[in-house]
Amino acid sequence: MSQNENDIKSQVVLKKRRKILTFLFFLFFSSFLWILIKLSVSYIIPYKLDFVLFDLPANMWISEDQSTQSLSISINTTGFKLLKIKYLASKRGTIHFPLSQLPYRKQNENTYYLNTLNLQDLIAGFLGINEKDIEFIEKEIFFRIVPMQSKKVRIEVDSKINFKEQYRQYGPIKVFPKSVEVFAPKAILDTLSYITTETISGKDIDLPIDDSLNLKYDESLIRPSLRKIAIHIDVEKYTESSVKLNVIKPGKPRIKVFPVEVEVFFSVALKDFDSLSKDQFVAAIDTSGLYARKKLLSVFLKQKPSFVKIIRIEPEQVEYIILKQ
């Protein structure tokens, strides 16, 4: 192929490319103009708005299904503003309506309603449009709120503490205060007997613990009068010991037991060890086995010091024979 033919072919290809580029330019430009025209046109579109009612009077309660609802409106605006609305709504999430600032009315004992026109300025600000661009499909929104009652319930501490070897919690956990006043609808209060704290945990603990804990509760159901309490946990070093006791037999029927003596193993705080005496323990026979004609009778402690923890009794059961009267 000659040089002249190559030049002619290159010019043809170049012209085709120019035509394609010119076509694409006008295609994109016309599309851009079309989008601009469409976005500048006004539209009336339906819009579903999720909302939450909050900031009730302190003595009133609303359930989650009543406080979280949706409202249907129509918006008269341009395409540009619609894009803005979609963007703002995705960024801000759900709109909140403070009942303390809105004139809601009572329909019957526990049902209330709110005229949607009173929400126009809040919604317009939330969506970033003019109030006149909003039209309400629903004239009122309805919700149920009920009066709160109160009662005092005990506080239980959720404790998951691992102590150092030979160390243990000494006595019950001290809670300040011991109880808390809780506000809730009567139906909920009737089933509520206590409220728990957040979990307190620790490893290799060998010293007393003083801490403050948050109460753990469902904010949508109850309102305690305080959110945080103080606790104190005494920690002591413990040791193991044992005592041998004669088993007390019932007066009737007369029986003889084998063996007559058992050994009780227990743990006790070192600070209480010197105050222990054998007389503080009493071992007895569980006579219920007599009537069932069991071959062995169980041994239990009829009396023991409150500050010891029983580990085991050896033997746990004894043989017996019934003596003639």
pLDDT in tens, 258-281: 999 999 999 999 999 999 999 999
Predicted confidence (pLDDT) at residue 51 exceeds the cutoff of 60:
yes
Average pLDDT over residues 145-160: 94
Q: Mean pLDDT for the chain? A: 86
Asked if 42-147 and 238-322 have one fold, the answer is yes
Confidence tier at 26 by pLDDT (50, 70, 90): low
What does the domain layout of the chain look like in residue ranges?
42-147, 149-233, 238-322
CB neighbour burial string for 22-42, b if at least 16 within 10 angstroms, e if fewer: eeeeeeeeeeeeeeeeeeeee
How far is Cα 140 from Cα 134, in angstroms, rounded to an integer? 15
The CATH code that applies to domain 42-147 is: 2.170.120
Find the helix or strand (DSSP H, E) in which 8 lies: helix 3-40
Which SS3 state, helix, strand or coil, does residue 309 take?
A: strand
Pick the CATH number of 238-322 from 2.170.120.30, 3.40.50.450, 2.10.25.10, 3.30.70.890: 2.170.120.30
- DSSP letters, 60-120, are EE--HHHHEEEEEEEEEEEHHHHHHHHHHHHHH-SEEEEGGGS--EE-SSSEEEEEGGGGH
**282-285 and 255-258 beta bridge pairing:** unpaired
Largest interatomic CA distance in the chain: 142
How far is Cα 56 from Cα 114, in angstroms, rounded to an integer? 14
Instruction: Write the CB contacts of 293 (distance below 8 Å, at least 6 apart in sequence).
Output: none
CB atoms within 10 A of CB 215: 17
Confidence tier at 74 by pLDDT (50, 70, 90): confident
Question: Residue 28: what residue type?
Answer: F
pLDDT value of residue 10 = 67
Confidence tier at 36 by pLDDT (50, 70, 90): low
Predicted confidence (pLDDT) at residue 12 exceeds the cutoff of 70:
no
Assess contact for 184 and 145: CB atoms under 8 A.
Answer: no
pLDDT value of residue 182 = 92
Average pLDDT over residues 142-160: 94
Average pLDDT over residues 293-316: 93
Task: Give percent of the chain above pLDDT 90.
Answer: 55
Q: Under CATH, what is the fold of the domain 149-233?
A: RNA Polymerase Alpha Subunit; Chain A, domain 2 (2.170.120)
Q: Is the bond into 224 cis (omega within 30 degrees of 0)?
A: no
Average pLDDT over residues 158-172: 95
